[in-house]
Amino acid sequence: MPPTDSAASHYDRVTRAWTLLLGDDLHYGYFSSPEEPLAQATASLTRLMAERAEMRAGLDVLDVGCGTGHPACELATTYASRVTGISTSVECIAYAIQRAAARGVAARTRFLQADAMDNGLPSAGFDRAWVMESSHLMDRKEAMVAECARVLRPGGVLALCDVIRRDELPLPYVLAHARQFNTLRVAFGRAKMESLERYAGWLRGAGLTVDRSEDISAETRPTFDRWRRNAHAHRAEVEALIGGDGWTQFAESCDYLEQFWDARKLGYGLLVARKPC
């Protein structure tokens, strides 16, 4: 039986509301200017990650934490890739299957309820491992990295982007900001952010060669303003889905994330690693 965890139950609860708040991509944007629309910026982040992953036609891709399937469908459409998306959320998998059918890429995609830290997929079955903004919710990130390395073919590439910790968070700082961190946990799920250096260490420990490590915190910061605008534009609909408290917690989280970004405590990073031939 597929595993049940807090990330799965959280996404099962919030996915419908998040399509209104975060947009169809359900991830951060990469902004070339502060005025850029959110949908354009989220598409830019997907495109940037695809470029860094050296995507090309006909590859077998494992989408780890596939969300509602938007990036998977983009890869299947733009690169004619064969994409396997995995998530522990029943709601997300259902969305992804429906999206792939609507986009006409059902034959090149499949979506499975599986745990990224123990995915049960065959070894050396994929050319790319795509981990887009899901690892922060995983308790054993090193296990997820090891699983990605296991299922990659020799010469295969792992691309990962996510929220990162840019500085130490000592206990006095955490206690002083306990309300903010608790609001983020309720709004976005139980998460633990790690540094780019820690991720790079896990990648090397799994036998991969790190090709690239980028801090793109500045380019992703305008995301929070766009999420806040969406929250106010869709307030009644969001409250009907996750309640008034849920709406308030999300709106406050946008403020708190901006503060942590500006204090250089949290940010956003992108890593690329390769499995030796």
Contact 234, 242 (CB under 8 A): no
Q: Give the pLDDT confidence score for residue 57 in this predicted structure.
A: 94
Q: Give the pLDDT confidence score for residue 6 in this predicted structure.
A: 60
CA distances, 225 to each of 126, 146, 229, 245, 273 (Å) = 37, 35, 6, 20, 32
Beta strands 152-165 and 266-274 are antiparallel
| Domain range 6-166+192-220+265-274, CATH architecture | 3-Layer(aba) Sandwich (3.40)
> pTM of the prediction?
0.93
| pLDDT < 50 positions in the chain | 1-5
Q: 220: Cβ–Cβ under 8 A, 6 or more apart, which residues?
A: 28, 29, 30, 31, 45, 267, 268
Quick one: tokens of 127?
A: 């050319």
Q: At what angle do helices 223-233 and 235-262 cross, to 10 degrees?
A: 160
Q: How many CA atoms lie within 13 A of 156 on its CB side?
A: 21
